[in-house]
Amino acid sequence: MAATIIDGKAFAAGVRAQVAEHVRRLAEENSIQPGLAVVLVGADPASEVYVKSKGKMTVEVGMHSVEHRLAEDTPEADLLALIAQLNADPKIHGILVQLPLPAQLNSELVINSIDPAKDVDGFHISNVGLLGTGQKSMVPCTPLGCLMMLRDHHGDLSGLNAVVVGRSNIVGKPMAQLLLGDSCTVTIAHSRTKDLKAVCQGADILVAAVGRPEMITGDYVKPGATVIDVGINRIERDGKKKLVGDAEFASCAEVAGAITPVPGGVGPMTIACLLANTLTACCRANDLPEPKGLTV
């Protein structure tokens, strides 16, 4: 069986186009421009690249983009003061503090200082609780992107068996909650799950988010299942650096009905959903209808 490749790059481009159209209409009909503020502390190379990409795409869809770059040794009080300032700024609808933070900063304290309504990463404890109880929340970007692609591929997810391999607060747990919300039967598995292979073999939807390069191989996959590979791992093979997922692509693609590649699968959807979340936050702040197809 040759798996259908779920092209996250193309899908993300479509999401950004939808966001841009909504942003254009907000400006024309309501004289409102969604605003996203990104805060980067220190000079982590990967974070630098990611923040630059976010800023570029924010501007491309017509949003107001603000970047705050702080020194590595920034005191916690200074960062919290900046977040308080952004919380109070009516032109800013989304706030994202780029992780990881330097060691002297308490990440949980910082994230939970963001106004939950502006928490476009969906990491604030209030949003975690709202999502877990099926209420309206800001949803973490990567799981939201996965759900969008699954809905597009399957249509109705109701009754499907879903296995999420990985229990992180950023991907695994919220992914499971979103799949439950779409009436899947959900199992959260992880590296210590007994007979993990057998658990995975029962999945109609298999989400690999365990953070181990190519851990999920083709013999873990139920024939015809959909494999969503969230992993982004940099490895060295044959003397060359390579980007691979948590699923071993070649063997999984031989068995699966559909699969996301790495790179070009889930990754591009994360920034696209960040923009979608900023748009959603703006609409909620102004008591306007939320954009259809871009929220849960």
Q: Residues 18, 98, 177, 182: which is the catalytic one?
A: 98
Interval 240-256 mean pLDDT: 95
Evaluate if residue 266 carries a pLDDT over 60.
yes
Interval 220-233 mean pLDDT: 96
Interval 23-30 mean pLDDT: 97
Q: What is the residue-averaged pLDDT of the chain?
A: 96
**Nearest residue to 54 (alpha-carbon basis) of 62, 43, 65:** 65
Judge whether 121 counts as a catalytic residue: yes
Evaluate if residue 1 carries a pLDDT over 80.
no
Model confidence over 160-178: pLDDT tens digits? 999 999 999 999 999 999 9
Taking the C-alpha atoms of residue 252 and residue 221, their distance in angstroms, rounded to an integer, is: 7
End-to-end CA distance of the chain: 32
Q: Residues 115, 121, 182, 246: which is the catalytic one?
A: 121
Where is average pLDDT lowest: 66-80, 82-96, 232-246? Answer: 232-246
Interval 269-276 mean pLDDT: 96
Taking the C-alpha atoms of residue 72 and residue 102, their distance in angstroms, rounded to an integer, is: 7
The pLDDT score that the predictor gives to residue 191 is: 82
The pLDDT score that the predictor gives to residue 164 is: 98
Angle at 57 (CA atoms; ends 56, 62), nearest 5 degrees: 100
The pLDDT score that the predictor gives to residue 44 is: 84
Q: What percent of the chain has pLDDT over 90?
A: 90
Interval 81-89 mean pLDDT: 98
Interval 14-25 mean pLDDT: 98
Q: Residues 18, 54, 119, 246: which is the catalytic one?
A: 54
**Beta carbons within 10 angstroms of residue 70's beta carbon:** 18
Interval 109-129 mean pLDDT: 98
Taking the C-alpha atoms of residue 164 and residue 226, their distance in angstroms, rounded to an integer, is: 12
Judge whether 54 counts as a catalytic residue: yes
The pLDDT score that the predictor gives to residue 238 is: 84
**Nearest residue to 100 (alpha-carbon basis) of 62, 51, 63, 53:** 51
What is the pLDDT confidence band of residue 236, given thresholds at 50, 70 and 90?
confident
More confident residue, 233 or 149: 149
Q: What percent of the chain has pLDDT over 70?
A: 100
The pLDDT score that the predictor gives to residue 47 is: 87
